[in-house]
Chains A and B, each alone.
Chain A
Amino acid sequence: MSIWEYANPKKFMQTTEVILPWVAVLAVLCLVTGLVWGFFFTPDADRFGSTVKIIYLHVPAAMMATSAWAMMLVTSLIWLIRRHHVSALSAKAAAPVGLCFTVIGLVTGAIWGQPMWGTWWAWDPRLTAFLILALFYLGYIALWSAVDDPDTAADLTSVLCIVGSVFAFLSRYAVLFWNQGLHQGASLSLDKKENVSDVYWIPLLVCIAGFVLLFITLVFLRTRTEIRARRLAALLARERLA
């Protein structure tokens, strides 16, 4: 029994078929609980007023946007090293989800920034880094769709993902150099004194858990679709040969 058993598409399909409904239900539960709790049962913050409540969408989406890229990096490496097709397909499946989370992070940030900073957009390091991350997602998705042969596409996108990670990381710190920001610093760290107070912290945690589960649900679902599409293509090819 090892984790590599799940690299077998059949085993993967069987397992996710059982897990998927549970993860999906848990995701919905967490999201509904966290969002309703956050929106209706927490007090307004003294400096932010009721705008603070957008944090329940903004922070989890932004966290998942970077985590999705990290997950794609790991699965790309697994594909390049061990040639497991499920791994490459899950990276392909995660990219549009990650892009959506990035856009949600940017849009909710703009809506939050308007009343707080008086502007929809500022060339703040964090905002800029996220915009660049969105561009990397776009390039990655475009490369997948441009290459016809699936194995070639998987190889090329994996190499792009690895190199892109380095450059996305470089850009993150290069923009710090380039402009000073409006965005507040980290306030959810586990090791710092100055954090968000528990009233917001706990529903936010529930929301983050909900977004993680939502991400897992969507990636499972999309990977299963990719595997089915691959099987369909194989069947059609066999039919043509027969």
Chain B
Amino acid sequence: MIALLLRDIRLAVRAGGGFGFGLAFFLLVTVMVPFGVGPEPATLAKIAPGILWVGALLSCLLSLDRIFALDFEDGSLDLLATAPIPLEGVVAIKALAHWLVTGLPLVLVSPVLGVLMNLPGPGYGWLVASLLAGTPALSVIGAFGAALTVGLKRGGLLLSLLVLPMYVPTLIFGAEVVKRGAMGLATGTPMALLAGITAGAVALLPFAAAAAIRVNLR
């Protein structure tokens, strides 16, 4: 399993495209927003939590179809499905690899983008904490969507149609944590709910995704 994890990370980093694009997209979305809504610091500070979370969510969405599509095309997914490790484990590892190359960098650069968006001081810690707790859920839910659409020729658009509604609870609680944190309020409740969604998704969705892959490989 560790070998698979390392292989996926290596592929994502070395093969052209993919890695880094998500980060650049996150940066671009955040830079575009002030052009759209105007540069007043007060306005930006007000919408910063929401924009940063939506940006993270969209950049996560960009690379989802690569989780399984390439392996499906060259047949390595068939080999993985017949390998001695359970397919659920393969899904979990691939989601983890996706999170390590997409979610984790987003978490790390988010404070810098917070500066661009004029995020109020107490919000930074909560921004990093909420993204750290929430982005694994984005990767796992995305892996489920990618598993559903892996056999399709043009699954990209359908993938976002399927996955985005499922991102709603994560987005609501994540942005709420940052909003409350930035205003200096207590963040315990949304933080616990966000972590709960992540824990539930990580525990259960690999099974659903593995079922979908078995159907698609039939």
Contact = CB atoms under 8 A, between A and B. Distances in A.
A159 B211 CA distance: 8
B215 A170 contact: no
Interface residues of A, number: 25
A4 interface: no
Interface stretch (B60-68, B83-91, B109-117, B154-162): B154-162
A146 B216 CA distance: 13
A167 B166 CA distance: 6
Interface string A151-169: 0100110011011100110
Contact of B162 (A155, A160, A174): A160
B169 interface: yes
Contacts of B162: 139, 142-143, 160
B51 interface: no
Contacts of A218: none
A143 B169 contact: no
Interface string B186-218: 000110010001000000010010011001101
Contacts of B37: none
B129 interface: no
Interface stretch (A16-24, A106-114, A130-138, A181-189): A130-138
The secondary-structure label for the interface of chain A is: helix
A162 B209 CA distance: 12
Contact of A175 (B148, B165, B172): B172
B168 interface: yes
A196 interface: no
A139 B165 CA distance: 9
B173 interface: yes
Contacts of B172: 171, 174-175, 177-178
- Top 7 A-B pairs ranked by shortest CB distance? A174-B169, A155-B215, A135-B165, A170-B169, A167-B166, A139-B162, A174-B172
Interface of B: 144, 148-149, 151-152, 155, 158, 161-162, 164-166, 168-169, 172-173, 176, 189-190, 193, 197, 205, 208, 211-212, 215-216, 218
23 contacts: A132-B165, A132-B168, A135-B161, A135-B165, A139-B162, A139-B165, A142-B158, A143-B148, A147-B152, A152-B151, A152-B216, A155-B215, A156-B215, A159-B211, A163-B166, A164-B165, A164-B166, A167-B166, A168-B165, A170-B169, A174-B168, A175-B168, A178-B176
